[in-house]
C-alpha cells in the first residue's frame, strides 16, 4: 500500500473528502423523518457522516470489522507499566482462544474480529536512546495496518494491545501537540505514583533525545511510536483512501493518529471517537483534534473495546435513519 515514507506523506496530503451529495441527501432525509428536527441528536450526525463516506443516502453496516494490532516495546524494560511485556503475547493468545473482552464485545456488536500481532518477538528499541523503529520496520507496520482496511468493509473499528504503549502514546501526544510529559502520561494499566514519575521521566528523555528530528508524521511515529501504533495510523489512512469510516478506541489508539492530526487536521473527518477513556490524556487529545466521544463509560482497557461498544450506537443511528417513516409516508403534519 505505502511504498515508502514519502508515499505515506503524499497520501496524507491528498486525503479524499466525503460525498457531499450523499451527505445532503441524508441530511434532507433526517429533516423529513417523523420526529422533531434534531431530536435524535448525535445519532443524526452519525447517519450523515456515514452516508458521506459510504456515498449513499441510506448507509448500512453489513460488514463491520474490529482490527486489534499488537506490538512490544523496548521501553517496557524501564518499569513504566504495571504488567510485564510477556502479557502482550499472552493476551494475543487469549484473543485467539476467544477469551478476551474484545471477543465478547465484537460478537455483541455483530463485528468480525481481526487480530494482527506484529513481530512480538522483536520489541521496538528503547526510544530514550534510539528511534523505536527503522524506516523499514515502520513502513512494514503501516502496511500491516493498511492491509485490514480493504474496500467492502462498511465500518472499521481499531484498537491495540501492547504493554508499555501508554508511554509511547503520551510521547506521541507531547511531540505532536506540546505540553509536558505529565499532561499526557497517566496510569495506563495501573502504575503507582513512582511508576508514573518514571513514565514522565522516560517521556521527557525521549523528547529531548529526538528533538529536531520529528520532522514528519512518519518520523514521529517511527521514533516515538510502536509497531501497533504505526499499524493503526496505516489502517486509518488506508480506510480513508477506501472511504471506509473508522470507529476509534481509547487514548492509545487515538494517540497513534496524533502526529497525522497535527499536520493534517482533516484526518479526523472519517473518524468517530467511540468513547473517551479514563486515561486522563484522552479527553485532552480528543479536544485537541476536534473529536467528541460517543460514550463515556470509564473504560480503560484498550484492545478496541470502546470502539466495539460504539458500533452498537452507530448501528442504532443507521437503523433509525434508514427505517423510520417520513412525515409524508406516515400522514403526520410536520408543522
**Active-site residue numbers?**
303
Judged by CB under 6 A, does residue 128 bind ligand NCN?
Answer: no
Answer whether 50's CB lies under 8 Å from 155's CB.
Answer: yes
Q: How far is the CB of 166 from ligand NCN (least distance, A)?
A: 3
**Which residue lies nearer to ligand DMD by CB, 82 or 242?**
82
Q: Which does 300 bind (CB under 5 to 8 A by kind): ligand NCN, ligand DMD, none?
A: ligand NCN
Q: CB under 8 Å to 35, separation ≥6 — which residues?
A: 324
**Which residue lies nearer to ligand NCN by CB, 154 or 249?**
249
Answer whether 265's CB lies under 8 Å from 28's CB.
Answer: no
Count of positions (residues) in the chain: 335
Residue nearest to ligand NCN (CB): 302
**Which residue lies nearer to ligand DMD by CB, 105 or 238?**
105
Judged by CB under 6 A, does residue 18 bind ligand NCN?
Answer: no
Q: How far is the CB of 245 from ligand DMD (least distance, A)?
A: 24
Residues at the site binding ligand DMD, with contacts judged by CB under 6 A: 83, 87, 91, 161, 189, 301-303
Judged by CB under 6 A, does residue 115 bind ligand NCN?
Answer: no
Candidates 26, 14, 30; CA nearest to 50 is 26
Q: Which residue in the set 26, 64, 158, 163 belongs to the binding site for ligand NCN (CB under 6 A)?
A: 163
Q: Which does 252 bind (CB under 5 to 8 A by kind): ligand DMD, ligand NCN, none?
A: ligand NCN
Q: How far is the CB of 333 from ligand DMD (least distance, A)?
A: 52
Within residues 270-289, the interface with ligand NCN by CB under 6 A covers: 277, 279, 282
Chain-centroid distance, C-alpha 200: 23
Burial (CB count <10 Å: 0-12, 13-18, 19+), residue 278: middle
Count residues near ligand NCN (CB under 6 A).
Answer: 24
Concatenated DSSP letters for 70-116?
E--BGGGGGS-SSS-THHHHHHHHHHHHT-SHHHHHHHHTTEEEEEE
Candidates 264, 262, 233, 265; CA nearest to 246 is 233
Judged by CB under 6 A, does residue 252 bind ligand NCN?
Answer: yes
Judged by CB under 6 A, does residue 81 bind ligand NCN?
Answer: yes
**Which residue lies nearer to ligand NCN by CB, 18 or 250?**
250
Within residues 188-207, the interface with ligand NCN by CB under 6 A covers: 188-189
Q: How far is the CB of 301 from ligand DMD (least distance, A)?
A: 5
- Dist CA 272 CA 292 (whole Å): 8
**Which residue lies nearer to ligand DMD by CB, 154 or 303?**
303
Number of other residues whose CB lies within 10 A of the CB of residue 333: 6
Judged by CB under 6 A, does residue 102 bind ligand NCN?
Answer: no
Judged by CB under 6 A, does residue 161 bind ligand NCN?
Answer: yes
- Dist CA 77 CA 198 (whole Å): 11
Cell 508511554 belongs to which residue?
Answer: 167
Q: How far is the CB of 118 from ligand DMD (least distance, A)?
A: 15
Q: CB under 8 Å to 181, separation ≥6 — which residues?
A: 170, 171, 174, 199, 200, 201, 203, 204, 207
Chain-centroid distance, C-alpha 247: 7
- Dist CA 86 CA 101 (whole Å): 19
**Which residue lies nearer to ligand NCN by CB, 30 or 277?**
277
Q: How far is the CB of 97 from ligand DMD (least distance, A)?
A: 14
Residues near ligand NCN (CB under 6 A): 81-83, 160-167, 188-189, 249-252, 277, 279, 282, 300-303
Amino acid at each position: 500500500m505505502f511504498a515508502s515514507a514519502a508515499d505515506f506523506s503524499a497520501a496524507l496530503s491528498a486525503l479524499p473528502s466525503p460525498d457531499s451529495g450523499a451527505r445532503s441527501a441524508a441530511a434532507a432525509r433526517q429533516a423529513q423523518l417523523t420526529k422533531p428536527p434534531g431530536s435524535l441528536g448525535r445519532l443524526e450526525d452519525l447517519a450523515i457522516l456515514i452516508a458521506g463516506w459510504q456515498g449513499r443516502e441510506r448507509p448500512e453496516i453489513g460488514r463491520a470489522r474490529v482490527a486489534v494490532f499488537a506490538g512490544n516495546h523496548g521501553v517496557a524494560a524501564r518499569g513504566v507499566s504495571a504488567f510485564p511485556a510477556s502479557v502482550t503475547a499472552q493476551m494475543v493468545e487469549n484473543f485467539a482462544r476467544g477469551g478476551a473482552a474484545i471477543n465478547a464485545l465484537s460478537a455483541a456488536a455483530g463485528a468480525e474480529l481481526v487480530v494482527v500481532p506484529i513481530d512480538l518477538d522483536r520489541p521496538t528499541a528503547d526510544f530514550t536512546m534510539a528511534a523505536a523503529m527503522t524506516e523499514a520496520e515502520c513502513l512494514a507496520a503501516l502496511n500491516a495496518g493498511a492491509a485490514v482496511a480493504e474496500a467492502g468493509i462498511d465500518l472499521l473499528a481499531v484498537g491495540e494491545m501492547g504493554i508499555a504503549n501508554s508511554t509511547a502514546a503520551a510521547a506521541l501526544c507531547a511531540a505532536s501537540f506540546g505540553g509536558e510529559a505529565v499532561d499526557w502520561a497517566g496510569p495506563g494499566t495501573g502504575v503507582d505514583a513512582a511508576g508514573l514519575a518514571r513514565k514522565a521521566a522516560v517521556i521527557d528523555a525521549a523528547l529531548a533525545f529526538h528533538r529536531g528530528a520529528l520532522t514528519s508524521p512518519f518520523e514521529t511515529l517511527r521514533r516515538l511510536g510502536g509497531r501497533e501504533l504505526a499499524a493503526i495510523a496505516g489502517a486509518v489512512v488506508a480506510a480513508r483512501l477506501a472511504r471506509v469510516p473508522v470507529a476509534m478506541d481509547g487514548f492509545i489508539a487515538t494517540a497513534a493518529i496524533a502526529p497525522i492530526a497535527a499536520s493534517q487536521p482533516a484526518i479526523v473527518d472519517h473518524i468517530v471517537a467511540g468513547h473517551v477513556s479514563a486515561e486522563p490524556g484522552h479527553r485532552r487529545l480528543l479536544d485537541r483534534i476536534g473529536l467528541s466521544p460517543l460514550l463515556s463509560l470509564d473504560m480503560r482497557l484498550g484492545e478496541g473495546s470502546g470502539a466495539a461498544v460504539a458500533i452498537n450506537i452507530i448501528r442504532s443511528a443507521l437503523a433509525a435513519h434508514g427505517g423510520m417513516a417520513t412525515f409524508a409516508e406516515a400522514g403526520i403534519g410536520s408543522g
